[in-house]
């Protein structure tokens, strides 16, 4: 594990030198981030934001979204894609949280231990470990490391996780590898690396800023 931590810190520092300290959009309240992340599933950030903004423009409160007709919510979030699945999922989560807490304010999670807060969020259908980690990290400033498809792919190529490790297992594993103070920047910079360089089908290994730290077995195939 010590070697993995050393490698992770070296990768983190190298990406900071190349990309700098990343700044995400203005943090959203936790319930907003929860809905936004559900909308982000299987779509890009632009479509996610279109669906989110359309939903907020249509309803003044999340309680109004919760109590609206399913057809109207589906219609509002259509720009985000998969509206027929995401609309009911959002309403079900909002109803379940209301039943559990009699409120849609999630700030109480900040007072809980991380694993307890994570477990509380993931009890709801449609809220997986990535969604929970995004809410915890970006809205509540808690030490959670979200693992999306880019980070999962890149961390495997970099040798930061076992090849057969599942996405669910990768969340606590990468939290143990990176120092908590690096979660925010490492998450965002690894995503950027995955989108711009370490792509799924044609990774641009020749222009990779951390090529020397990479264990990707197919680098040689690309003529590097």
**Given the residues 130, 202, 217, 219, the one annotated as active site:** 130
| Residue position matching structure tokens 């990176």 | 178
What domain range is 195 assigned to? 2-23+146-217
CATH code of the domain containing 172: 1.10.1670.10
Residue pair 140/110 in contact (Cβ under 8 Å)? The answer is: yes
Would you call 86 a catalytic residue per the annotation?
no
Residue pair 84/72 in contact (Cβ under 8 Å)? The answer is: no
pLDDT, one tens digit per residue, over 118-149 is 999 999 999 999 999 999 999 999 999 999 99
What is the structure's pLDDT at 216? 79
Q: What span, in angstroms and rounded, lies between the C-alpha atoms of 103 and 57?
A: 21
Judgement on whether residues 208 and 126 belong to the same structural domain of the protein: no
Judgement on whether residues 62 and 7 belong to the same structural domain of the protein: no
Judgement on whether residues 34 and 134 belong to the same structural domain of the protein: yes
The vertex-171 CA angle with 192 and 145, nearest 5°, equals 55
Q: What span, in angstroms and rounded, lies between the C-alpha atoms of 211 and 205?
A: 7
* pTM attached to this predicted model: 0.89
pLDDT, one tens digit per residue, over 73-112 is 999 999 999 999 999 999 999 999 999 999 999 999 999 9
User: Residues 89, 95, 97, 101: what is their CA dihedral angle, to the nearest 10 degrees?
Assistant: 180
Judgement on whether residues 113 and 187 belong to the same structural domain of the protein: no
């Amino acid at each position: 594990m010590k070697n993995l931590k050393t490698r992770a810190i070296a990768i983190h520092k190298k990406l900071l030198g190349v990309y700098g300290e990343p700044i995400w959009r203005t943090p959203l309240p936790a319930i907003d981030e929860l809905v936004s992340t559900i909308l982000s599933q299987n779509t890009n950030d632009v479509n996610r934001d279109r669906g989110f903004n359309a939903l907020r423009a249509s309803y003044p409160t999340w309680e109004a979204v919760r109590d609206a007709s399913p057809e109207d919510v589906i219609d509002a979030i259509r720009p985000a894609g998969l509206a027929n699945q995401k609309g009911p999922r959002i309403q079900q989560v909002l109803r379940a949280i209301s039943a559990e807490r009699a409120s849609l304010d999630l700030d109480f999670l900040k007072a809980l231990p991380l694993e307890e807060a994570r477990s509380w969020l993931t009890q709801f259908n449609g809220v997986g470990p990535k969604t929970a980690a995004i809410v915890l990290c970006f809205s509540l400033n808690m030490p959670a490391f979200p693992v999306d498809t880019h980070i999962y792919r890149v961390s495997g190529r970099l040798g930061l996780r076992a090849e057969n490790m599942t996405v669910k297992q990768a969340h606590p594993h990468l939290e143990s590898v990176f120092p908590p103070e690096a979660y925010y920047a490492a998450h965002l910079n690894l995503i950027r690396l995955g989108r711009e360089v370490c792509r799924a089908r044609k990774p641009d290994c020749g222009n990779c800023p951390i090529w020397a730290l990479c264990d990707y077995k197919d680098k040689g195939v690309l003529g590097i």
